[in-house]
């Protein structure tokens, strides 16, 4: 998937208010690693209903970071998990890795 995380939506949402933009970024940087860890813990336990809930939470951050195609994949993965399937796991986790790297560089 050839798309990269970006701050365009956050810029638009903040309307030039730097403090608001910084606050949003700070929240995402704080919450994302925690949500990723919970996702991985539940996945290791094969608690797919919980994992689907974790993906649901994470997909909002995917959207905020401008990843339209990745959001669509996350949505498919979420539904897949509710059927106890993990076919899209590798693709979803590559999205997580991209986001993690992006946030570390902010």
Question: Which ranges of 1-106 does DSSP label H, i.e. alpha helix?
Answer: 8-14, 18-44, 48-64, 68-81, 89-104
Percent of the chain's residues with pLDDT above 90: 98
Angle, helix 48-64 to helix 68-81, in steps of 10 degrees: 170
Residues in the chain: 106
CB 59 within 8 A of CB 75: yes
Of the candidates 63, 70, 78, the residue with the CA atom closest to the CA atom of residue 97: 70
Q: Report the pLDDT value the prediction gives residue 1, as an integer from 0 to 100.
A: 66
> pLDDT tens for residues 52-78?
999 999 999 999 999 999 999 999 999
Q: What mean pLDDT do residues 15-23 have?
A: 97
Name the 3-class secondary structure at 68: helix
Q: Which helix (H) or strand (E) holds 15?
A: none
Where do the domains of the chain lie? 8-104
């Amino acid at each position: 998937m050839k798309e990269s995380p970006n701050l365009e939506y956050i810029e638009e949402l903040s309307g030039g208010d730097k403090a608001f933009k910084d606050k949003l970024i700070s929240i995402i940087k704080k919450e994302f690693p925690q949500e990723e860890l919970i996702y991985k813990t539940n996945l290791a336990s094969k608690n797919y209903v919980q994992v689907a809930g974790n993906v649901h939470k994470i997909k909002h951050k995917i959207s905020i970071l401008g990843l339209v195609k990745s959001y669509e994949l996350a949505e498919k993965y979420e539904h897949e998990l509710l059927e106890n399937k993990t076919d899209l796991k590798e693709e979803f986790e590559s999205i997580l890795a991209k986001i993690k790297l992006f946030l570390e560089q902010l």
